[in-house]
Structure 1
Amino acid sequence: MKQASSFEIVAARCWNLLNEGKPFTPIFAVSVFLLYRSNQWLDSSFWTSAGLSLLLLLPLFALCYCFDFPLFLRNYLWFPVIAALLIWEPHNLSLYAAAIGLYFFFTVFFWGTFYYRMRIGTSWWNFKRFWKLVLKNSDSTSGNAQEQLPKLLLLLFLWNHSYRLLASSGEGEWFTAFTEKDVLAMGIFTLSFGLYSWILHANLFDWKPKETAPLTNTPDRTGKPMNEKVIVIVIDGMRKERFEEADAPFLKKLRQEGTEYTQMETVYPARTVVCFSSMFTGAYPRDHGIRSNMVWKLGIRVESIFDSLRKVGKKGRLLGIAHLIDSMGDDVESVTAVMHNDKADRNIIDRAKKIMAEQNPDLFVVQMIAVDQTGHSMGVLYDEYLEKIAEADRLVEEFVGWLDDQGMMNNTTLIICADHGQADGIGGHGHLDEGERFVPFFLHGKTIRQGIRIDERHSLISMAPTLAYLLGAPYPSASRGQVLTDAFKEEGPHET
């Protein structure tokens, strides 16, 4: 299996500008406005009027960028749109019709059909299902129609209003185009929208997990490892209750013979790069600095488990997609995500065997991606999603059997988990809708207690300190997770 190319790494970063909801809103609004008036591009006065009117609207653009409206909050976005229509007379209705049409063309055809066809081999007929997923999706990505459409319409409506006033004024009279009433109305509306958004988030945005854990305070076992190796298999985007419904006998056998954490909670926002960064630093996003898949400043700003292992002369590797390089850097063995989804996990497991045979790391993390990609392209409530979980089960069984044959499972702990679940619609994840928050998580091995279910709530930030504890390494410096000592046969020291 080939590595992700430099072009793919850059392309993945560029794609996140259109995938993440925050940058998508201003990018798409500006693109629609300019495309609609493309016949005026050769007129220099157009660019002056468009630029000045956009400058006036920058505070509103900034508010739409800063405030997400996921889940039921998106329903409240239509009230500002209605208020704007009552205050100002609508013009150029074809502009707003074009915005709606281009939005659905981008999400349903370009993204949901063409993009997924080119990247993972989805059917050319995928649009027949994808339009329903876009309407149902509740996470703050570009694919959340019920959030993006009111934001787009509001921005375009007020921008077009300001532009028409400036364009109708004479050259050199732009600064007198607005009456005091216009300026006052626009200012009051923008301030009101900001206050409205803040009140909604302060009073209704109450599902974010509390980030209150102190630094990891379990006495560490530096130099006294419990295991020779730890293998972590992350089945990206595996929704907990769908895993229960799937035909996955091997994974469920491992869970039954090991220790399961039934209330393992992901971090917020539950984006893949954010979750992996938290899992392998033991830190919250506010500490490690990765807050979305769109990483503006490359690299985590705290120690990772891989840094901890180096301190004791041990080696860890992470086999994952190009996105993870943005946060974990050279500790990632990248895999290309541009392949047919039926071959993705097969190729990843083959590459995993090669890495173990050639490098033999003490800690090896494998990211399996086909389940997540199926959820995003075809939805999580369909049979295809269950089939991908079943496929992952067979491949994990094969990989563990191969490790056993190579003598690599003699004193090894195996950890199976997901980084996040997936919501209805296009398998969105980030803002913790139903199906995202709690993930499958269980441990198996000779040092792990058998047949144990732990129902106490834990966080995925426990991964890094638990790995350090098992491998006899110091905790990463910013680790706040609780070591999962309840899973160990050997009684771990009580926390101070």
Structure 2
Amino acid sequence: MKRKMIILCYMLLIVGVSYGQKANKAKELPKHVILIGFDGLSAKSIRDGANMPTLRKLMSEGSSTLEGRTILPSSSACNWASMFMGAGTELHGYTTWGSQKPELPSRVVNSDNRFPNIFGLYRDKTPKAEIGYIFEWEGMNYLVDTLAINYRLHTTDCTVPAIKYIKEKKPNLCAVIYHEPDGVGHSKGWSSPEYMNKLTELDKSLSEIVKAVEESGIMNETVIIVTSDHGGIKTGHGGVTMEEMQRPVVFYGKNIRKGFTIEESNVVYDIGGTMAYLLGVKQPQVWTARPIMSIFNK
């Protein structure tokens, strides 16, 4: 009898510790995740002194790296797909800069007949969540679970609708994806004065979105992620140079380490894994992403 009581007490202790750990983790996770993406923003431009005070503030007061890598090819659709889908082209099947559907059969598909992505996975976990998706390049429309999203907008300028949406709806998950500076990179060059001027302009948009999060009253429960899909060299991208493959990755907000440089290797699909962790979403087996765990306060 005494032995049974000891075993029972031990089991209750284990259950209590497990419950406590889960409760502590829930307290550390944000209620809101805002992803801001700039198509074609290179890590090299930041190293070269791009005038982006807002981005640099988020870097200094958050966790960041200028060594995040693309998958190959270092082009748009396949990398945005990897970011949302937690895996590379070999599994999700989007293989080109302008893929509108998988050129390779997706290894697994969900009820929306798409490879599992963060929007659909989060919707399945949290049916009442507010999920937004605002983008400038039409090609972004083919890379997400459209049925999982409350507010989806293709626009010529993300900033004003993003501000309005964040203030009014306080989304739990929102992606805001700009088409620039990719366009200027292709027309004028990735190291051109025009490209660097465009970065300053985009930084002002970033500042306005951050301000909207603050004014909405949700900043204390938010993690903001700023990143891109690829860089560029001369007037192109898609190759294997570091100028094309290295991207900035910045995390800022609740429980994120301040002034921390991410040393661990990370690929574009690890953004999806980190978003899943932040949102309490279990990664499907087919994902190859790894959450970037070093960014969190212990």
TM-score, normalised relative to structure 2:
0.80
Could you tell me which amino acid in structure 2 is paired with residue 268 of structure 1?
Answer: L
**SS in structure 2 opposite 1:277?**
helix
Equivalent position SS for 2:219: coil
Q: Could you tell me which of 23, 41, 64 is aligned with 1:238? A: 41
Are residue 323 (structure 1) and residue 127 (structure 2) matched?
Answer: no
Instruction: Kindly state the Cα deviation for residue 300 of structure 1 after the two structures are TM-superposed.
Output: 7.4
Q: What code does the residue aligned with 1:410 have?
A: N
Residues 37, 227 of structure 2: 8 Å contact kept: yes
**SS at structure 1 position matched to 2:64:** strand
Instruction: Measure how far apart 1:254 and its partner are.
Output: 0.8
Q: Which residue does 2:152 correspond to in 1?
A: 333
**Partners in 2 of 1:432 and 1:445 — Cα distance?**
33
The reply to whether residue 311 of structure 1 matches residue 127 of structure 2 is no
The total of aligned residue pairs comes to 260
Q: 1:481 aligns with which of 286, 289, 293?
A: 289
**Residue 375 (structure 1) aligned to one of 185, 188, 193:** 185
In terms of Rg, which structure is larger? 1
Give 1:292-307 correspondences, 5 Å limit: 292-295=96-99, 297=101, 301-307=114-120
Which residue pairs with 1:384 in the alignment?
Answer: 194
**How many Å separate the matches in 2 of 1:442 and 1:407?**
21
List runs of 5+ in structure 2 lacking aligned partners: 1-21, 103-111
Q: Secondary structure at the match of 1:280?
A: helix
Residues 1:259 and 2:63 are matched in the alignment = yes
Deviation at 1:296, TM superposition (A): 6.0
Counterpart of 1:250?
54
Partners of 2:197 and 2:138 in 1: CA distance: 25
Structure 2: how far apart are the matches of 1:478 and 1:300? 15
Q: Which runs of 5+ in 1 are unaligned?
A: 1-220, 337-343, 491-496
Classify 1:296/1:280 alpha carbon distance in 2 versus 1 (closer, same or farther; 3 Å): closer
Runs of 4+ off more than 6 Å: none
Residue 363 of structure 1 deviates from its aligned partner by 1.0
* 1:348 CA displacement: 1.0
Q: Which has the higher strand share?
A: 2
Partners of 2:206 and 2:241 in 1: CA distance: 28
Q: CA offset at residue 457 of structure 1?
A: 2.0
Map 1:133-172 onto structure 2 (within 5 A).
none
Call closer, same or farther: CA 1:467–1:381 in 2, change over 3 Å.
same
- Cα deviations by residue, 1:232-269 (Å, 9 ceiling, x for unpaired): 11111011121232111111111011111232111111
Please say if residues 465 and 476 of structure 1, whose CA atoms lie closer than 8 Å, have aligned partners that are also in contact.
no
Among candidates 264, 268, 278, match of residue 82 of structure 2:
278
Give the superposition deviation at 1:386: 0.4
Letter in 2 for 1:384: E
Task: Tell whether the 8 Å contact from 1:272 to 1:419 is kept in structure 2 after alignment.
Answer: yes
Alignment check: 8 A CA contact 2:76 2:98 kept: no
More displaced stretch, 324-333 vs 361-370: 324-333
What's the offset of the Cα at 1:328? Answer: 1.7
Q: Hey, what does 2:26 align to over in structure 1?
A: 224
- 1:441 is matched with which residue? 249
Helix, strand or coil: the match of 1:435?
Answer: helix
Q: Deviations over 1:165-204 (max 9, x none)?
A: xxxxxxxxxxxxxxxxxxxxxxxxxxxxxxxxxxxxxxxx
Shift of the 353–476 alpha-carbon distance from structure 1 to 2, 3 Å rule, reads farther
| TM score, norm. by length of structure 1 | 0.49
* One-letter amino acid matched to 2:44: E
Q: In 2, are the aligned partners of 1:290 and 1:300 still within 8 Å (CA)?
A: no
- Over the residues paired in the alignment, what is the CA RMSD in angstroms? 2.3
Cross-structure match for 2:270: 462
Query: Which one scores higher on RCO, CA 8 angstroms, separation ≥ 6?
Result: 2
What amino acid maps onto 1:423 in structure 2? Answer: I
CA distance in 1, matches of 2:237, 2:65: 21
